[in-house]
Structure 1
Amino acid sequence: MINQIYRLVSPGRFEITYRDMSLNGNKLVVRPKYLSVCAADQRYYQGRREASILQKKLPMALIHEGIGEVVFDPTNEFEIGQAVVMVPNTPTESDEVVEENYLPSSNFRSSGYDGFTQDYVFLNRDRVVPLFTELNNHTASFLELVSVSIHAIRRFKEKTHKRKETLGIWGDGNLGYITALLLRKMYPESTIVVFGKNDYKLDYFTFVDKKVLINDIPQDLNIDHAFECVGGRGSESAVDQIINCINPMGSVSLLGVSEEPIEVNTRLVLEKGLTLFGSSRSGTVDFQDAVNFLQQNKEVIDYLSQLVTNVIDVYSIKDIDSAFEEDLVSSWGKTVMEWKI
């Protein structure tokens, strides 16, 4: 069958390409239905990556957050029309120590490998997770981001000591919101503190114990462990604040992506005996854990739905442009594309 793929060929410019795909084999065919725009997609769309990287990775279909419905399954394991979340990470090998999202050989959609802006997506059978009916489509579209927080918290549990009286989250954006929300539910006895830059964004964090502006952190405020969800230019100051606020033997989970190297106060890291560890992306197990968590804690879905700020019907390439432009000027939340092209 001929599949239409909507690729970014240069910053701000999409084009349609055609690829002949075979239905012979074991792959699932999924029709994308709801796609969510990520900051990483925006960096490609705006050309805010180094020219050498753009030259290497473009043309490329964007979007790695999305859900769809099964339209073909050669083994009849999945029902036709079944709603599934699509896993963007595609490993080519397995390792008994290194998880799939850290293997250099893995392919990741919308990062050098075609994302979900296609008529149909051909997926390995282990790259989808079924959804439950109570999870609304707009919220489900960014389950990938939820899985990233789930993955980071799983690693946090493995690497930290038992004292978790106060947990700090730096970052008042989407990732900070989701991470704080999940921590609130998983650690109900802990004091959850969010550190942010904008009052109006912190207002959305109604479920935490304390909200602190990064320019007005009390000198006597200490935390046991921290999650850095800032990224970009703000990573350096966020990590510096964390190192100063955190108690000895604490752990720092680094989630924010920075294009440039940042300075770290290693003297204080050593003095306090801190553990810094990075978490990036996620795998199928994290998607399954995210779906299971939401199915068991349905009240969390309402909080996640507050992140949906733009919903764009996409019938053409022009509508894809509109979605990215709307997302660019949005100061909060997620832009969701209803994929009707």
Structure 2
Amino acid sequence: MEMINVSYRLKSPKFFEEDIDEMELDGVIVRPTYLSICQADQRYYQGLRPIEVLEKKLPMALIHEGIGEVVFDCSSNFNVGDKVVMIPNTPQGEDVCRANYSYKSKFRGSGFDGFTSDLVKLEPDRLVKLPDDFNMHVSAFIELMSVAYQGITKFSEIAITPKEVLGVWGDGNLGFITALFLKEKFPESKIMVFGKHLENLNSFSFADAIYQIHNVPQGLVIDHAFECVGSSASQSAIDQIIDLINPQGTINLFGVSEYPVPINTRMVLEKGLTIQGNSRSDREDFVGVVKTLEQNSQLFEYLEKLITNICEINTLDDLKDAFNKDYISRFGKTILKWNK
């Protein structure tokens, strides 16, 4: 049995097109309800990826952050109408490493179609049920929260020195979420946030201290660091982290750069530092985020501060307008109320 589905794919930078196809009725069929634009989506939309990457991956439906409602399930794991968060990482067989680091995995909105379609078909294990009382605007970017969650989980497993002072570099969305989750997981630790934009830093009301990167007090030290800057600015952030971190601390990298970033390996060796890379997430991280939000409902109040745009999407022009609004926003998340 099949049904008609419409996908909305980026054919070339700033140009979306509709694509009609037939969908087999198996697995779980979800109707997207709220989606969230990520910087990776913007890099495709604005044409900021290398031309060979764009030629290889487009046309493609964007967006890997989103939630929806179940409309069909032949697996009996869900009921019609259940609210679910969709997991974009899609393993393609067993591997010795986690699925989010496996070359055998495919990722929606990168290796194949994301969530900008009328319906999305997923395997049952690629969905996590949401409580009905969750803030759905905030829930739209649980995927981004899961990235911070998995990095913090890995950090907890490898850090061998005290966690009295934790530093977060980056005053954007991921820096905000990482600092917030660190404060929730390590309430006795002092959370310091280092950033460039004072107006962004002032939003980190839960942090113990905020510093502009050019105005750090003499003698300040940290035990462990979380780099959430990305791009070419990663270099100066990592340099500052290496200067301020105590011996045998961990540097947890989250920021993505299109270009190689030099690192002062002499000081990494001298201090015996551990550098850990973090990218994407998998099911256990989504489950962990949902459980964390259930147990700490006050987190929604902080996370709601990240929402700067809520755009209703009824046409392709609405989708273009949403991407343009998001592009000029220096801070916060753009949420798409998906009416397609």
Query: TM-score, with normalisation over the residues of structure 2?
Result: 0.98
State the AA in 1 paired with 2:116: T
Shift of 1:112: 2.2
Secondary structure of the corresponding residue to residue 32 of structure 2: strand
Please state if 1:61 is matched with 2:61. yes
In structure 2, the residue matched to 1:275 is 274
In structure 1, the residue matched to 2:46 is 46
- Between the aligned partners of 1:267 and 1:162, the Cα distance in structure 2 is 21
Shift of 1:74: 1.1
Shift of 1:76: 2.7
Shift of 1:331: 1.7
In structure 1, the residue matched to 2:144 is 145
In structure 2, the residue matched to 1:170 is 169
- Between the aligned partners of 2:56 and 2:75, the Cα distance in structure 1 is 37
The answer (yes or no) to whether the contact 2:67–2:83 under 8 Å persists in 1 is: yes
The answer (yes or no) to whether the contact 1:29–1:71 under 8 Å persists in 2 is: yes
RMSD: 0.7
State the AA in 1 paired with 2:167: G
- Between the aligned partners of 2:73 and 2:187, the Cα distance in structure 1 is 42
The answer (yes or no) to whether the contact 1:58–1:112 under 8 Å persists in 2 is: no
Shift of 1:21: 1.2
| Alignment length (residue pairs) | 338
- Between the aligned partners of 1:219 and 1:94, the Cα distance in structure 2 is 49
Secondary structure of the corresponding residue to residue 93 of structure 1: coil
State the AA in 1 paired with 2:260: P
Please state if 1:8 is matched with 2:10. yes
- Between the aligned partners of 1:133 and 1:198, the Cα distance in structure 2 is 36
Question: Deviations for 1:262-315, whole angstroms, at most 9, x for unmatched residues?
Answer: 100000000000000101000011000000000011111110111111000000
Please state if 1:112 is matched with 2:114. no
Question: Deviations for 1:167-206, whole angstroms, at most 9, x for unmatched residues?
Answer: 0000000000000000011111111000000000000000
- Between the aligned partners of 1:255 and 1:164, the Cα distance in structure 2 is 19
Shift of 1:133: 2.2
In structure 1, the residue matched to 2:73 is 73
The answer (yes or no) to whether the contact 2:75–2:124 under 8 Å persists in 1 is: no
In structure 2, the residue matched to 1:94 is 94
In structure 1, the residue matched to 2:196 is 197
- Between the aligned partners of 2:216 and 2:165, the Cα distance in structure 1 is 15
The answer (yes or no) to whether the contact 1:71–1:81 under 8 Å persists in 2 is: yes
Secondary structure of the corresponding residue to residue 230 of structure 1: coil
Question: Deviations for 1:55-92, whole angstroms, at most 9, x for unmatched residues?
Answer: 00000000000000000001332110100000000001
In structure 2, the residue matched to 1:126 is 125
Given candidates 13, 17, 20, the residue that maps to 2:19 is 17
- Between the aligned partners of 2:21 and 2:294, the Cα distance in structure 1 is 37
The answer (yes or no) to whether the contact 2:161–2:223 under 8 Å persists in 1 is: no
State the AA in 2 paired with 1:246: I
- Between the aligned partners of 1:58 and 1:112, the Cα distance in structure 2 is 10
The answer (yes or no) to whether the contact 1:313–1:340 under 8 Å persists in 2 is: yes
Query: TM-score, with normalisation over the residues of structure 1?
Result: 0.98
Secondary structure of the corresponding residue to residue 248 of structure 1: coil
- Aligned positions of 1:153-168 closer than 5 A: 153-168=152-167
The answer (yes or no) to whether the contact 1:63–1:116 under 8 Å persists in 2 is: yes
Secondary structure of the corresponding residue to residue 7 of structure 1: strand
Please state if 1:336 is matched with 2:335. yes
- Aligned positions of 1:222-261 closer than 5 A: 222-261=221-260
| Structure 1 residues 36 and 312, CA gap change in structure 2 (3 angstroms) | same
- Between the aligned partners of 2:234 and 2:21, the Cα distance in structure 1 is 40
- Between the aligned partners of 1:307 and 1:67, the Cα distance in structure 2 is 17
- Between the aligned partners of 1:331 and 1:48, the Cα distance in structure 2 is 17
- Between the aligned partners of 2:302 and 2:193, the Cα distance in structure 1 is 16
The answer (yes or no) to whether the contact 2:168–2:192 under 8 Å persists in 1 is: yes
Name the % identity.
Answer: 53
Q: Tell which deviates more after alignment, 211-220 or 291-300.
A: 211-220
Secondary structure of the corresponding residue to residue 330 of structure 1: coil
- Between the aligned partners of 2:76 and 2:156, the Cα distance in structure 1 is 38
| Structure 1 residues 267 and 162, CA gap change in structure 2 (3 angstroms) | closer
